[in-house]
């Protein structure tokens, strides 16, 4: 079954670019990515641009309406995601716990619906 791990954190809570802490942070992501690939569970994973670059779209009365930025007003913002192919939720949670941002942000894990 496929699971999506949505990575949330407050802006500015991760180590600053160019610092030794940032290097260690990125090394932890590299190690996690290698483990996901080695174990054959990684389907896809990407970081997202900041929420200020987002556009929210709704169709109302048959007409598209857009607004700049994310719709949800929260301190934590979606910063990236992984899609894992795991046997069960426990395995997906085990891999999600390896995502470095989980140590100061949050990782939401959801099964992906299979309509087939």
Share of the chain above pLDDT 70, in %: 96
pLDDT at 76: 86
At residue 78, does pLDDT exceed 70?
yes
Tens-digit pLDDT profile for residues 19-61:
999 999 999 999 999 999 999 999 999 999 988 888 888 899 9
For every residue of 22-51, DSSP letters joined together read HHHHHHHHHHHHHHHHHTT-EEEEEE---G
Given this model, what pLDDT does residue 64 score? Answer: 95
pTM confidence score: 0.89
Burial of 88 (0-12, 13-18, 19+ CB in 10 A): exposed
Check whether 113 has a pLDDT greater than 90: yes
Q: Which domains does the chain have, with CATH numbers?
A: 2-111 (3.30.70.1060)
The band of 85, judged by pLDDT with boundaries at 50, 70 and 90, is very high
């Amino acid at each position: 079954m496929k699971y999506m791990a949505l990575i949330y954190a407050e802006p500015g809570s991760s180590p600053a670019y160019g610092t030794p802490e940032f290097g260690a942070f990125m090394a932890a992501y590299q190690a996690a990515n290698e483990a996901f690939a080695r174990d054959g569970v990684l389907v896809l994973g990407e970081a997202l641009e900041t929420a200020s670059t987002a556009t929210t779209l709704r169709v109302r009365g048959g007409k598209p309406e857009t607004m700049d930025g994310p719709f949800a007003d929260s301190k934590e913002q979606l910063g990236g995601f992984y899609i894992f192919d795991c046997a069960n939720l426990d395995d997906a949670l085990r891999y999600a716990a390896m995502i470095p941002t989980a140590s100061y942000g949050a990782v939401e894990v959801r099964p992906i619906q299979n309509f087939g």
